[in-house]
Chains A and B, each alone.
Chain A
Amino acid sequence: MTSLPTSTDKKLGLVIDLDICVGCHACAVNCKEWNSGGHSAPMTDRDPYGAEPSGVWFNRIHTYEVTNDRDAGQSRTVHFPRSCLHCEEPACVTVCPTGASYKRAEDGIVLVNADTCIGCKLCSWACPYGAREFDEDDGVMKKCTLCIDKIYNENLDETDRVPACVATCPAGARHFGDLGDDSSDVSRMVAERGGYDLLPDMGYKPVNKYLPPRPRRAPQQETDTAATPGESGSDVASFLGWVDRMLSR
């Protein structure tokens, strides 16, 4: 049924730390790997070895440049993983004419039933985040399942019961948990770091949160320390200053 649950027992989702993400695409690759045998398998590729490969992926890693007049000439590079945010008000679910799209009342995960999806693509139009990708071969819509077949899988060790993207991230930039529980690790992380919603004005109330990059050290400080060698006039002092700067990074 495409009517949304009035509330969900849990709000399972991801917290993505943009301060840490190094843009290695490992999450996207492991997501593809796990889900190629999972709930929404296969994740079809077309022309995979040709000139124009195109396929279904649940994770896409963008990279942005942020420039600011205040620190002229300096820009910040931010790697930005994008996947389904498992919104509390997912229009992708309510627009679905068949009931194939649904939001689970028990944990808030948004899923597609591939047996009843007619492939009208309207859900992908309704999602501002580009979370849904159409499988041309299967003729149905596919999306992130939050690794539903992994997080509840009792054949796995408990530590492995996290989404594939979280399990594989070498930098620890992705976290999984219940964002409806204020005392959970992920909720605390969001509170401490000022985790935010993407496109909040759209009103979809995403469950997934993004942690902003930490403020950069003031460039003023660096010029100050760079000036010290001249002032002290000692090579030893300037070497120690350099060691100090390197170690305190």
Chain B
Amino acid sequence: MHPAPSVILFTVSSGAGYGALIWVGVAAAAAGLPPDRWLGFVLFLVALGLITIGLLSSLFHLGHPERAWRAVSQWRTSWLSREGVAALLTYIPALLFGAGWVLLGTNSGVWTVFGLLASGLAVLTVVCTGMIYASLKPIPAWNNRWVVPLYLLFALGSGGLLVALVAGLFGQSLSWLTWGAVLLLAVGWVAKSGYWRAMDDAHGRHDIRAATGLGRFGQVSALEAPHTSENYLLREMGFVIARKHAGRLKGIALGCGGAATLAAAGSALSAGGISVAAAGVAVALTAVALVIERWLFFAEARHAVTLFYGTLAV
């Protein structure tokens, strides 16, 4: 699948934003964050900022961005529509929660209800994002049980790091949250390498014999293409990445992701400026690792339509 920058930016940025929002709601409810107005302002700026940048970037992916409002109508059948609905609904409690914190200087009592509501809706939004991909049968690399948990793990892990970093900058030590992010990211990267191994070992769910129905007569191979230059189908769904390059990129992603997780653990174990600096390094490395991971998620996924163009199995 074509790795469109807008969708990579959207899933990484919004994922981290929703992850941060989830932790902010939970941390406030657990009385883990003081109702400091500036702390609240920066937390919501980061979380809602990343979410909004991501959503706007996904709009650029559309042929008709001005009609995007129509996308909330088909939530009965479409995961993309459900994601849109969940994303918009999340803003309501999130903005109320933020208003209470930043304008009224309170994040306890009834305000925690808004915070937890925002957390819940944010989880739902990330699940919907994952389900958009996991529900597509023509793409076996997405249509499996790994995809939704991985989206959740990376959203929660990267978001947790962001909240810990912001809190650290305001002199708040949230080591329990940092440890939570360490655990989630460690599990996330182990699961991701498991996913990569499973995809490498997969023999293909669909093949050219079933696509053409000619398998009953023998081995099928494409003799002549229907057109001489690339068409939309091949540009969008026929993206091919060399195995060698994919292997190297996976190494870089795992290296950065692993180093980030260690840096986060270092941040949880230390205090003061060192802890904040380590959290900053962890955030930066995780961002790099996740952009590569997301790029590969698209670039490596093979679509069943390529079977008609001669791919033997996907």
Contacts and interface: CB of A to CB of B under 8 A. Distances in A.
Contact of A54 (B216, B229, B304): B229
Interface in B36-93: 61-65, 67-68, 70-74, 76-81, 84
A124 B236 contact: yes
A73 to B, nearest CB: 12
Contacts of B308: 60, 62, 80, 82, 129-130
Interface string A41-61: 000000000011111110011
A181 to B, nearest CB: 23
A198 interface: yes
Interface stretch (A5-13, A90-98, A168-176): A90-98
23 contacts: A1-B74, A54-B229, A60-B226, A64-B214, A64-B222, A80-B214, A80-B308, A94-B78, A117-B67, A118-B63, A120-B61, A120-B62, A122-B78, A125-B138, A126-B136, A126-B138, A127-B305, A130-B237, A133-B231, A134-B63, A134-B232, A199-B206, A213-B217
Given A91-B137, A98-B73, A120 B80 contact: yes
B81 A199 contact: no
Contacts of A18: 214
Q: How large is the interface on B (under 10, 10 to 19, 20 to 34, 35 or more residues)?
A: 35 or more
A3 B135 CA distance: 16
Contact of B80 (A95, A117, A197): A95
Secondary structure at chain A's binding surface: helix, strand, loop or mixed? loop
B213 interface: yes
A98 B62 CA distance: 12
Q: What 4 A-B pairs come out closest when comparing CB atoms?
A: A119-B63, A139-B63, A68-B218, A128-B304
Interface in B219-249: 219-233, 236-237
B200 to A, nearest CB: 22
A119 B84 contact: no
B187 interface: no
Given A66-B219, A120-B80, A139-B63, A198 B74 contact: no
A134 B217 contact: no
B77 A78 contact: no
B271 interface: no
Contacts of A118: 62-65, 67-68, 70-71
A63 interface: yes
Interface in A157-212: 196-203, 210, 212
A66 B220 contact: yes
B211 interface: yes
Interface centre among B67, B217, B230, B236 (most CB of A within 10 A): B217
A177 to B, nearest CB: 20
Contact of B210 (A3, A116, A201): A201
Contacts of A91: 135-137
A57 B231 contact: yes
B236 A116 contact: no
A132 B123 CA distance: 32
A202 B138 contact: yes
Interface string A66-88: 11111000001110101000000
B212 interface: yes
B48 to A, nearest CB: 23
Contact of A63 (B81, B138, B224, B237): B224
Contact of A64 (B63, B81, B206, B212): B212
Nearest to A114: B64
B232 A125 contact: no
B185 interface: no
Interface in A5-25: 18, 23, 25
Contacts of B305: 127-130
